[in-house]
């Protein structure tokens, strides 16, 4: 993989740590796309990314390389590319990536990736969006991968969720701050930007009585 200057976010924290009790398998994700159970996709983009765009871009930096792990067909990839940034994504489901290019009206080419069996990269003809179709775990473990692509000035926007994990097993998976600290705390400053109530009827139907969305900004600690 290439080296990145910016890592915008981890979607809903699902795979940051590895929960022993409940894992959504690759087959289940592919099935969700096939059955169109894609309520996680936000057609207008993620409001948290909109809200913290200035924080992420450090007030208007341009020409950044922005990494979207678990990208699905996130529409933000198009608007960040339109702003002059270079976008790299990783996603299991080939149909999600093809839908992205079709829905965003972008032409693209498709290449295999030597060294990762079955993996492909889809590149926009304009050259500023490259989406890898493979498992992120084919590249590395999630947290290690995220750390390996962060450069000195990188801002990593991480959204996690909190709820009573005795009442719902996920996804999205419950990731407490302690786990984020244990995965990233040695090398990153971790700042909580906000903790908001995101409770909805869907969460109620899962048997929960609260559901919080917590947004962190991770930056590399300065080397002494
Ligand atoms: C919560 S969704 C994010 C969707 C995206 N924000 C969008 O708007 O379409 C998580 C995505 O990660 C993908 N995924 C799950 N496990 C993966 C893995 N191991 N490697 C790459 N992609 C994965 C799923 O197929 C799914 O599209």
User: Looking at the predicted structure, is the pLDDT value of residue 72 above 60?
Assistant: yes
Sign of CA dihedral 164, 168, 173, 178: positive
Instruction: For residue 137, give the ligand 1 atom closest to its CA.
Output: 19
* DSSP state for residue 216 in the 8-state scheme: E
Whole-number Å distance between alpha carbons of 148 and 186: 14
The per-residue pLDDT for range 138-191, each reduced to its tens digit, is 876 878 878 878 888 899 999 999 999 999 988 898 899 999 999 999 999 999
The per-residue pLDDT for range 81-120, each reduced to its tens digit, is 999 999 999 999 999 999 999 999 999 999 987 767 888 9
Closest CA to 219 of 139, 122, 154, 128: 154
Any ligand 1 atom below 6 A from CB of 120 = no
Closest CA to 159 of 177, 142, 185: 177
Quote the tokens at residue 119: 């993996």
Any ligand 1 atom below 6 A from CB of 48 = no
The predicted pLDDT at position 222 comes to 84
User: What are the residues facing 91 on neighbouring strands?
Assistant: 133
Instruction: For residue 33, give the ligand 1 atom closest to its CA.
Output: 25
List Cβ neighbours of 80 (8 Å cut-off, separation of 6 or more): 8, 66, 87
- Residue whose Cα lies nearest atom 5 of ligand 1: it is 72
Any ligand 1 atom below 6 A from CB of 16 = no
Secondary structure string (H, E, C) spanning 90-127: EECCHHHHHHHHHHCCCCEEEEECCCCCCCEEEEECCC
Interaxial angle between packed helices 142-149 and 177-184, expressed in degrees from 0 to 180 and rounded to the nearest 10? 60
Any ligand 1 atom below 6 A from CB of 42 = yes
Any ligand 1 atom below 6 A from CB of 41 = yes
List Cβ neighbours of 216 (8 Å cut-off, separation of 6 or more): 157, 158, 159, 160, 180, 190, 191, 192, 193
List Cβ neighbours of 25 (8 Å cut-off, separation of 6 or more): none
Residues 98, 35 contacting (CB under 8 angstroms)? no
In Å, how far from its chain's centre is CA 215?
13
| Residues, the chain | 224
* DSSP state for residue 195 in the 8-state scheme: E
Q: All domains of the chain, ordered by start, with CATH?
A: 7-220 (3.40.50.150)
* Residue 132: cis peptide before it, omega within 30 degrees of 0: no
Distance 100 CA to ligand 1 centre (A): 13
Distance 114 CA to ligand 1 centre (A): 22
The predicted pLDDT at position 115 comes to 67
Whole-number Å distance between alpha carbons of 112 and 163: 40
The per-residue pLDDT for range 20-68, each reduced to its tens digit, is 567 889 999 999 999 999 999 999 999 999 999 988 887 778 899 899 9
The per-residue pLDDT for range 116-140, each reduced to its tens digit, is 788 899 999 999 999 999 998 887 6
Quote the tokens at residue 177: 């701050």
């Amino acid at each position: 993989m290439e080296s990145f200057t910016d890592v915008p976010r981890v979607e809903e924290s699902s795979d940051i740590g590895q929960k022993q009790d409940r894992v959504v398998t690759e087959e289940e994700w592919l099935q969700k796309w096939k059955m169109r159970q894609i309520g996680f996709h936000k057609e207008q983009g993620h409001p948290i990314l909109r809200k913290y765009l200035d924080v992420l871009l450090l007030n208007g930096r341009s020409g950044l390389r922005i990494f979207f792990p678990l990208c699905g067909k996130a529409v933000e990839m198009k608007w960040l590319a339109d702003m002059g940034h270079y976008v790299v994504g990783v996603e299991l489901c080939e149909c999600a990536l093809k839908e992205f290019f079709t829905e965003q009206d972008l032409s693209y080419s498709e290449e295999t990736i030597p060294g990762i069996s079955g993996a492909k990269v889809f590149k926009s003809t304009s050259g500023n969006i490259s989406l890898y179709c493979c498992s992120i775990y084919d590249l590395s473990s999630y947290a290690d991968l995220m750390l390996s692509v962060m450069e000195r000035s990188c801002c990593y926007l991480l959204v996690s969720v909190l709820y009573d994990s005795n009442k719902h097993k996920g996804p999205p998976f419950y990731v407490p701050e302690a786990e984020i600290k244990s995965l990233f705390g040695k090398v990153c400053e971790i700042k909580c930007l906000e903790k908001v109530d995101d409770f909805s009827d869907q969460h109620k139907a899962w048997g929960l009585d609260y559901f919080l969305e917590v947004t962190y900004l991770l930056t590399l600690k300065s080397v002494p």
